[in-house]
Amino acid sequence: MGALEIDEYARLDAVGLADLVRTGQVGAAEVERVARRALERAHGDLNALTGPLWDPAPAHSPDGPLGGVPVVVKDSGPFVRGRSFSLGSRALVGAVAHTDHTLMARMRAAGLVALGQSTVPELALGLATESRRYGVTRNPWDPERGVGGSSGGAAALVAAGAVPLAHASDGGGSLRVPASACGLVGLKPGRGRTPCGPLTGEAAFGMVSEFVLTRTVRDAAHLLDALGGPAVGEKYVPPPPSRPYARALTTGPGRLRVAVTTTPWAPTTVDVQVREAALTAGHLVEWIGHHVDQAHPDLAYEDTVEAMTLVMVSTGAALLGSGRGVDPDALGAVARRVLSRTRRCSALEVMAGLEAQHRLTRALGVFLDEYDVLVTPTLGRLPAPHGVFDTDDQHHTLRSWLEQAAAYAPFSAPANVAGVCALSLPLAQSREGLPIGVQLMAAAGREDVLLALAAQLEQAAPWEGRRPPLHV
């Protein structure tokens, strides 16, 4: 076995690292040693870990398909048995998970080596990974800018080469927004494609999906093969894929009918460079050989806001139901408003939010029955500077907070509300050298179509050689 240099490690994706370990070219212990060095180096630049690395790492199967590949998990709740979590809040310090999340159990079985925990905004709400508890997580492309949220620490570490993939979750863009801000592949699986138990029956009325952030499309496909599928007894059971997702990358999706739009579903404007990136992606899709139209679904902004309010209320309910006393003074202003709204939320308000969810689900479903894929920008603008999303701003209402998020990411939330699958690809860069993500969206259960088209785009406009200035 040879020694693994940190430069080689940082260039490899998860599949590449797993191949080295499986063929005996490098040992799993050597990969872990280099990964720990890389994580500590990246954290010093980016402030993306919640604390010291875990030593020893949680038990895992060395014979899994990704045996020996390092990963970090998001501080978004009780995920790893015996490990503490706080959701980025000083109000939950000392909470410990008493069982594995089902996704974590599958990570162990796949051979992934969990080495630590990544930073999030308070209560994992919002689109900036900045909190009283952890401070500001910096973007490796520009340390004066944010990494998005809520899976921001995860995105920073993957983009910096510290790990090839990281656990992430998405309740309104929380996986795709950091993917766009940090130049990564961010797949939000459709409702029920990945498990949400055993502690949660449905995360935020089915609007939250758990998965990972990666640098390559093939990693996203292989990880969905390893981690995907509902657990026994879960509420949402999508149809099983007709073939492994990894195989979809090589067989192609056939000729697709694709819609392209840069018209946001929120009352906001889209940055010129962002708009051009999405339109260029549409031209590239057409050049590959697919049919492309300029078209967009008729989605009501008020339905999106009303349904997304349920995500916030669900988060507050989980906190209040955690069995721990919550000190409001330990929370930021936005988190206090979430708790206040949760306490006074009536059954009629919940029903109204669910009806809004159903209306938007039908509208987007009808559109994605006509078109195989919808192409949009991921964000409405370039990665935001630090401090734009101030969770301690006393003037914020829950509505104004949602509107601010919608202005920054006006294309992401409908996929969560409707439960369809969506993917952000790092297809472009701004004149300033910042990543620009392009979003692909497909009907529920069609992750295979998304990944197959994404693989074609990755081959036609590769991003493999791009590295941020802050890289291990």
Cite the active site residues: 74, 150, 174
Beta bridge partners of 118: 49, 74
- The whole-angstrom separation of Cα 385 and Cα 92 is 28
- The whole-angstrom separation of Cα 381 and Cα 278 is 12
DSSP state of 434: -
The strands making up 373-377's β-sheet, listed across from edge to edge, are 113-118, 70-74, 165-170, 209-214, 185-188, 421-429, 435-442, 373-377, 257-260, 291-294
- The whole-angstrom separation of Cα 278 and Cα 125 is 27
Of 226, 208, 194, the C-alpha closest to 102 is: 194
DSSP state of 411: T
Number of neighbouring beta carbons within 10 Å of residue 195: 22
| Residue at 372: amino acid letter | D
For residue 254, the number of C-alpha atoms closer than 13 Å in the C-beta half-sphere is 6
| Residue at 377: amino acid letter | P
- The values of phi and psi at residue 124, to 5°, are 55, 30
The angle formed by the CA atoms of residues 447, 452 and 456, to the nearest 5 degrees, is: 145
- The whole-angstrom separation of Cα 338 and Cα 350 is 14
Q: Cβ-count burial of 326 within 10 angstroms (0-12 exposed, 13-18 middle, 19+ buried)?
A: middle
**Mind giving me the DSSP string for 100-130?**
--HHHHHHHHHT-EEEEEE--SGGG-SSS-E
Helices (H) and strands (E) in the chain, counts: 15, 14
3-state secondary structure 125-174: CCCCCEECCCEECCECCECCECCCCCCHHHHHHHHCCCCCEEEEEECCCC
Beta bridge partners of 429: 435
Sign of the Cα torsion 144, 147, 152, 157 reads: negative
